Structure 1
Amino acid sequence: MVLPAPALISVDLKQIAIAIWQPWPAYVSILATLSYFILSPLFPNNHRASMSSLRWVYAFAFFNAAVPHLVSWTLSLSSVLIPAMYNDRFLEALHPANVFAVPLPWSGQTVDTVAEGVHFFLRWDYMIGSAGILLWALKLYTVAHKQILSTVCWSGLLFKVGLLTVFAGPAGAAVELMWERDELVFGETGGTRQQVTKAKKSS
């Protein structure tokens, strides 16, 4: 998809590549399901080992979500705070209002170039997609806390989500919530299994 068209590939082939790429969440889901059924018989059902592996996955995912978010904000804010760093022709394009503001469909705002239209679309795409995954993670997080700890501190949770969203982005916040949720669930499951094992041995 990154190859220039029509210099190296035809426009039609590039469009086909983009179309094939679109259902990548389905590809990931199918591969994850197949991996589970194929590989799970080869490994023991060890919750501690599973959580240890998951920590690396979550850390990698959080890094990939947070770093681009911080870099984007840093570059955009530096164009306002330290404009001398940039060529004058880039200052307006890098302004936070132009980079992060989401144009409303009813505002009557129009686009002058294809690139500007794509930028509008990608902002809405990111906002809707990341909001959906953040709400999903928030729901799973609260359900786990209600079932295991019987309580959820909503004020603290919303403050944490807001802070994470600012510094790591909504995707980074979702990763962090799922990480905490799995730590809680796996820890509870492991503790319960240990108690059952001890009870059997004592009897």
Structure 2
Amino acid sequence: MARVVFSVALLLVLYLAKTAINDLATANGLFEVIQNTLEDEPVKFTSVKALDGFLTTLVCFFLPIVTGAHPPLTLFSVFMLGQVLGIYSLLLNEGIRAANRSKLISYPSLWGMMGQIITIGVTLPMYYLTWLWTSTIPEAAATSADAFADAIALNPVHSKVLNIAVTLGGALPSAATALPSPSMISQEWREIALAVWQPFPVWIAVVQGFLATVSKTFNLVPNTTQTPAARIERFRGVYTFALSAVVLTYVGTLGWVYRFSDTPLDLLKTMFRPTWPLDKTPMVSMEAGVLTLLQWDMYCSTLSTWIWITYNAYFRAGVVQVIVDLVKLVGLTPLVGPGGAALVVVWGRDVAVVGAAGQKKKTG
């Protein structure tokens, strides 16, 4: 019954995302402006015209973000980048958990590319719905503490190379798009950088797969370290890395606002207060339209992630744990943002579950 209730909640978020992202972008004219870019000859990124047209559309959408001409948009995008990284790290971790092996949810690059194409706010409710109905972690939690700990264990090899993969496949392409133009790169190369950045989930997967293969071939990472201490150390490695990036972008964004803005509260209001989803008013500029879409994109993705976390709390320890985790999420959000809060809560869950199983073995 709980699975059905949480599924309904995720479906409601999916409907909100459809209304606040897709329908609103149609009503305010954003999609029309972007679509008009296809009337001209697309930028030649490849030799495939259809692909060039698609990449041109995406570059048109993201270009106003990296120019810095609209500070609220650029600042919110940096903030969102960190928060979404925290959430995407959860997907990467779910992809290498023992209980999720070979399931659809074990391919984060697929879901990541869906997020790039149809927005992450629309994609994540579908991902979490798939998780609810395919992952065997809830069943393991109901079996025993040991089974639960075994189910959430991270693959030793993939967890070891994950941070490098995210750095090379995600962070570097993202940094390349932010290089100032024309002082460091030309406008043409900035557009190329944006086009190369688009499939970053694929780049992460490719680097991760390559490094994992090398590690297995040369036995660089022993695959037999499944003690509670080793598992907790793997959690620490992946979560600390992701949380560091989240905190850096969170503190950096808010610090810039309060340090350099004459009216920081007004700027924050513009950055974080979105247009009402049913508003039919045309956007005042493309930058404003992109900002509204990204605001709802982040809010819907965060909301669906929090629902998934509360479902995990419920099957782990009932309503009391749901309340505890919600209090943690709300309390941590002012410190690290909503995506960072989600990361911390899941990290705490992982350590608690593995620690409880290890303690049971000692006292058993």
> Normalised by the shorter chain, which TM-score bucket?
0.5 to 0.7
Q: 2:225 aligns with which of 41, 45, 54?
A: 45
Map of 1:175 onto structure 2:
343
Moved over 6 A (4+): none
Map of 1:21 onto structure 2:
197
Q: CA deviation at 1:183?
A: 0.3
Task: Give the whole-Å Cα distance in 1 for the aligned partners of 2:213 and 2:358.
Answer: 22
Map of 2:291 onto structure 1:
119
Equivalent pair of 2:313/2:321 in contact (CA under 8 Å): no
> Greater CA radius of gyration, 1 or 2?
1
Task: Give the whole-Å Cα distance in 2 for the aligned partners of 1:135 and 1:35.
Answer: 33
In the alignment, structure 1 residue 184 sits paired with structure 2 residue 325: no
Greater relative contact order (Cα 8 A, min sep 6): structure 1 or 2? Answer: 2
Task: Give the whole-Å Cα distance in 2 for the aligned partners of 1:50 and 1:111.
Answer: 50
- SS for the counterpart of 2:278 is helix
Task: Give the whole-Å Cα distance in 2 for the aligned partners of 1:171 and 1:55.
Answer: 17
Map of 1:57 onto structure 2:
238
Q: CA deviation at 1:110?
A: 3.4
Map of 1:139 onto structure 2:
311
* Consecutive unaligned residues in structure 2, runs of 5 or more: 1-176
Map residues 54-133 of structure 1 onto 2, 5 A cutoff.
54-73=235-254, 76=257, 78=258, 86-87=261-262, 91=263, 94-133=266-305
Map of 2:328 onto structure 1:
160
- SS for the counterpart of 1:167 is helix
Task: Give the whole-Å Cα distance in 1 for the aligned partners of 2:206 and 2:313.
Answer: 24
Count of residue correspondences: 182
Cα separation, partners in 2 of 1:182 and 1:30, compared to 1, 3 Å: farther
Q: CA deviation at 1:21?
A: 1.8
Q: CA deviation at 1:177?
A: 1.5
State the Cα deviation string for residues 163-200 of structure 1 (Å, max 9, x = none).
122322111111112211210232244446x55xx98x
- SS for the counterpart of 1:106 is coil
Give 1:50's aligned amino acid: R
Equivalent pair of 2:181/2:187 in contact (CA under 8 Å): yes
Task: Give the whole-Å Cα distance in 2 for the aligned partners of 1:168 and 1:104.
Answer: 26
Cα separation, partners in 2 of 1:26 and 1:137, compared to 1, 3 Å: farther
Equivalent pair of 2:302/2:339 in contact (CA under 8 Å): yes
Q: CA deviation at 1:100?
A: 0.8
Equivalent pair of 2:235/2:351 in contact (CA under 8 Å): no
Give 2:203's aligned amino acid: Y
State the Cα deviation string for residues 28-57 of structure 1 (Å, max 9, x = none).
345445545653653132431232243143
Task: Give the whole-Å Cα distance in 1 for the aligned partners of 2:292 and 2:208.
Answer: 32
Equivalent pair of 1:141/1:177 in contact (CA under 8 Å): no
Q: CA deviation at 1:125?
A: 2.7
Map residues 191-202 of structure 1 onto 2, 5 A cutoff.
191=359, 194=361
* Consecutive unaligned residues in structure 1, runs of 5 or more: 80-84
Map residues 24-35 of structure 1 onto 2, 5 A cutoff.
24-32=200-208, 35=211
CA RMSD of superposed structures (Å)? 3.6
TM-score (norm 2): 0.41
Equivalent pair of 1:137/1:174 in contact (CA under 8 Å): yes
Give 2:301's aligned amino acid: G
Task: Give the whole-Å Cα distance in 2 for the aligned partners of 1:68 and 1:3.
Answer: 17
- Most deviating of 15-24 and 166-175: 15-24
Q: CA deviation at 1:153?
A: 2.7
